[in-house]
Structure formats: structure tokens, C-alpha cells
Amino acid sequence: GSHAQLEDTAPRIVEHPTDVLVTKGDPATLSCKAEGRPAPEVEWYKDGERVETDREDPRSHRTLLPGGSLFFLRILHGRRGKPDEGVYVCVARNYLGEATSRNASLEVAGE
């Protein structure tokens, strides 16, 4: 048969995160969608450091959604720390390579 063999492809980001301004305690989503074959693994980095989600820590308030977006159950923000504020990128990887999204900043409104 002459059925076309699907070729493996390196990841590419098809939906980039955009800057968000969030009220403390509210949920937020940073969008990211990547395509590739095999389906790429998505990781998030904030200010260059890998973001832990509920995959690593079941108590985490951050969830990696099936498509690759990062969902915050509520934005944490205290006088002593702004753990969620910063510049985020998502990185999609498979064995053929990796793709990095544009930077998106998450800011917490007011205080």
C-alpha cells in the first residue's frame, strides 16, 4: 500500500502565552500550545527557573493543562514574596529538538 508515512517533526509553538495582569487570589492561565510528532513535552520556566506544577508537587497551586497551558488555581502574592510574578516562557521538547515560546509577563495588580 502507498499510505504516507507520517514523519516525526520537531516541536513548534502554535499558541504563545501573552502578558497577563491578575488580581491576587484569582485564577490565571498562561496559554501555550505546541505541535510535534511525537507530541512534545511542555515545561514552563519563570525568570529562567523551571516552574514546578502539580506533576512534581501534588499540593502545587499550578497545574499543567493537557494542551500545555499553565493554570494557576489562585495567584499567590504576599508582602514577603511574589512567587507567581515574573516572566514566563514555555518550552516544548521531543527527541528532534525543542521550541521556546515568546516571553510573557505575569503581573499581580495593585497592592
CATH number at 50 reads: 2.60.40.10
* pLDDT for 1: 62
* pLDDT for the residue 78: 79
Q: Tens-digit pLDDT profile for the chain (111 aa)?
A: 666 778 999 999 999 999 999 999 999 999 999 999 999 999 999 999 999 999 999 999 999 999 999 999 999 887 778 889 999 999 999 999 999 999 999 999 976
Question: What's the pTM?
Answer: 0.89
Q: Is 2 within the bounds of a domain? A: no
pLDDT at 98: 98
Question: 17 is in which domain, residue-wise?
Answer: 8-106
Separation of alpha carbons 67 and 102, rounded Å: 17
Let me know if residue 88 belongs to a domain: yes
What is the model's pLDDT at position 76? 87
Is residue 111 assigned to a domain? no
